[in-house]
Chains A and B, each alone.
Chain A
Amino acid sequence: MRNVYGWLLLTPAAILLVGFTHYPAFATLFDSFFSTGTVVRPTRFVGLANYAALGDDPIFWQVLRNNLYFAAATIPTSIAIALLMAIWVNDRLPARALVRMSYFTPTILPMVAVANLWLFFYTPQIGLLDKFTALFGVASHNWLGDPSTVMGCLALMTVWKEAGFFMIFYLAALQSLSPELEEAAKVEGASRWYYFRRVTFPLLMPTTLFVLVNATINSFKLVDHLFILTKGGPDNASNLLLYYIYQVAFSFFDTAYASALTVVLLALLAGLAIVQFQLVEKRVHYR
């Protein structure tokens, strides 16, 4: 009985978590073992049939490939750029606050606004990109309409949006490093590159791990821009896993199949996170 007070304090948060996170998650897992019910054919247990259908679905495989490409293109690039920008704005330089702010600005914009902005860049003929290439006599190109360029365009935009956000974490980590460390290295004759490689980068490892996990999750969950830019097209060339789940669930109304897709996505993310933690933790220095 002594713990009643504590449980009462926990209850509001617990109700919200169970109601909106844990119950839906388990319900999704549960639903993925059943068929989608209609008026004439009620829901029935189908075992792993939905998962078997996944294997035969060419769009699923294409979407998965797209997503892996998207992750591979955005994660390392945005982390590298974030680190570079953080080191740059951590230095004494004129109008430092302004530079920091401008790097951070893309982060505060909603993804939908960013997508609209970049739509202007990528629009054939009147877009910024085409206007620029036209200066060099390059013919107009439908950047988002061409299956070979559309993923690159989306990745570029995402890097632009994400790097500033990750920069803030690197900047905070850099500022927690004692400037005397750099001076000690300087007295010993270490070059800036040597100092970065042997001291700064290893000391930033916890931040890198954190950013890496976030970037990975983002590369699978950030699909707002698809609604504005491509709707997954042309011919699913820019479709991503989460957007495909949305299409299956709310355009095709195949909720059971969408549940199976969701479980796969969650398993994929959980697996990636575990691997990252185990791999990187060995090389992470925690104070």
Chain B
Amino acid sequence: MADTLQVELVAADRTVWSGSATMVIARTVEGDVGVLRGHAPLLSLLTDAVVEITGDEGDVVVAAVDGGFLSVAGDRVSILSEHAVLAEDINVDQARIDLDEARGGDAAPDETERRIRRAEARIRAVEKAR
């Protein structure tokens, strides 16, 4: 326990991933942040993007989150998001369709942008996991 991070990736209705890890990379509203052991306590807003967790055996877990928070305190990292999906559970084709729909859709500009970002985050997550 002493030399790893305790990571919990939690969506609103379930725990998506939890375990020990050596590194967590996430994208906050101000830019990418990497968390290693001994990081200062941090509470930060995430954007719709990819989260990478490097497990303690070198395996990499990739997930897409729709906004949310990253909280770090005493080697405990929690990533909270209303929707969080692991890369292997993402349906790429559906994400591509969503992306096209969002681009061609006539929703409000904010909404369109958000949809595009979400779909792109999913596609990127899958590509990274490959």
Q: Tell whether A and B belong to one assembly.
A: no
Q: Which residues of A contact B (CB under 8 A)?
A: none
**Residues on B close to A: CB < 8 A?**
none
